[in-house]
Structure 1
Amino acid sequence: MTAHLATLGRRLRIAIVCGCDESTLYAVARVMESKFADILFVGETERIREDERIKASLDSFTFIEAEDGVDASRKAVALVREGKADILMKGLVNTDVLLRAVLDKETGVLPRGTVLTHLAVAQLANHPKLLFFTDAAVIPYPTQEQRMAQVDYAVKVCRAFGVETPRVSLLHCSEKVSDKFPHTLGYQDIVEEGKKGTFGEVIIDGPLDLRTSVDPVALHKKGIPSPLEGQADILVFPDIEAANMFYKTITYFCEAEVAGMLQGAACPVVLPSRGDSGDNKYFSLAFAAMAVK
Structure 2
Amino acid sequence: MILTEKPPVHNQLEFFIEEAVKSRPVRTAVVHPVERNGLKGAIEAAQRGLIEPILVGPEAKIRVTAERESLDISGYQLIDVEHSHAAAEKAVDLVREAKAETLMKGDLGTSELLNAVIHKTRGIRTERRLSHTFVLDVPNYHKPLMITDAAINVTPDLLVKRDIVQNAINFCHALGIEQPKVAILAAVETVKPSMPSTIDAAALCKMTDRGQITGAILDGPLAFDNAISQQAAIDKHISSPVSGDADILLAPDLESANMIAKQLIYLADAKSAGIALGAKAPIILNSRSDGTLARLASCALASHMVLHPETLK
Where do residues 84-233 of structure 1 align in structure 2 (5 Å cutoff)?
84-111=99-126, 113-233=127-247
- Structure 2 residue 74 is the aligned partner of structure 1 residue 58: yes
Q: Tell whether the 8 Å contact from 1:86 to 1:267 is kept in structure 2 after alignment.
A: yes
Measure the CA separation in 1 of the matches of 2:65 and 2:40.
Answer: 12
Deviation at 1:40, TM superposition (A): 0.7
CA distance in 1, matches of 2:164, 2:110: 21
Query: By how many angstroms is 1:118 displaced?
Result: 1.2
Mapped contact 1:41–1:63 kept (Cα < 8 A) = yes
1:77 maps onto 2:92 in alignment: yes
Q: Secondary structure at the match of 1:187?
A: helix
**Contact 1:17–1:89 (CA<8 Å) still a contact in 2?**
yes
Say yes or no: does 1:263 pair with 2:277: yes
Residue 58 of structure 1 aligns to a residue in which SS?
A: coil
Report the more deviating stretch, 20-29 or 85-94.
Answer: 20-29
Q: What 5-or-longer segments of structure 2 have no aligned partner? A: 1-12
Alignment pair present for 1:3 and 2:15: yes
Unpaired runs of 5+ in structure 1?
none
Tell me by how many angstroms 1:123 deviates: 0.6
The residue matched to 2:207 in structure 1 has which SS? Answer: helix
Q: Which moved more, 1:35-44 or 1:168-177?
A: 35-44
Q: Secondary structure at the match of 2:136?
A: strand
Displacement of 1:20? 3.1
Residues in 2 aligned to 1:274 and 1:17: alpha-carbon distance in whole angstroms: 14
Aligned-pair distance for 1:107?
1.4
Equivalence for 1:16: 30
Q: Are residue 47 (structure 1) and residue 67 (structure 2) matched?
A: no
Alpha-carbon offset, residue 254 of structure 1: 1.8
Using the alignment, how far apart are the partners of 1:71 and 1:220 within structure 2? Answer: 55
- Kindly report which structure 2 residues correspond to 1:24-43, keeping only aligned pairs within 5 A, or say none: 24-43=38-57
Give the aligned residue type for 1:66.
V
C-alpha displacement of 1:283: 2.0
Shift of 1:202: 2.0
Structure 1 residue 216 displacement after superposition: 1.2
Structure 1 residues 33 and 149 mapped into 2: Cα distance closer, same or farther (>3 Å)? Answer: same
**Equivalent residues of 2:31, 2:57 under 8 A apart:** yes
Distance change >3 Å, CA 229–CA 92, structure 1 → 2: closer
Q: Give 2:293's aligned residue.
A: 279
* Alignment size in residue pairs: 290
One-letter code aligned to 2:198: T
C-alpha separation in 2, matches of 1:275 and 1:284: 14
Residue of structure 1 in register with 2:10 after alignment? none
Tell whether the 8 Å contact from 1:122 to 1:132 is kept in structure 2 after alignment.
yes
- Judge which range, 41-50 or 244-253, deviates more: 41-50
User: How far apart, in 1, do the equivalents of 2:154 and 2:182 lie?
Assistant: 20
Q: Give SS of 1:185's match.
A: helix
Kindly, what percent of the aligned residue pairs are identical? 32
* Counterpart Cα distance in 1 of 2:180 and 2:70: 39
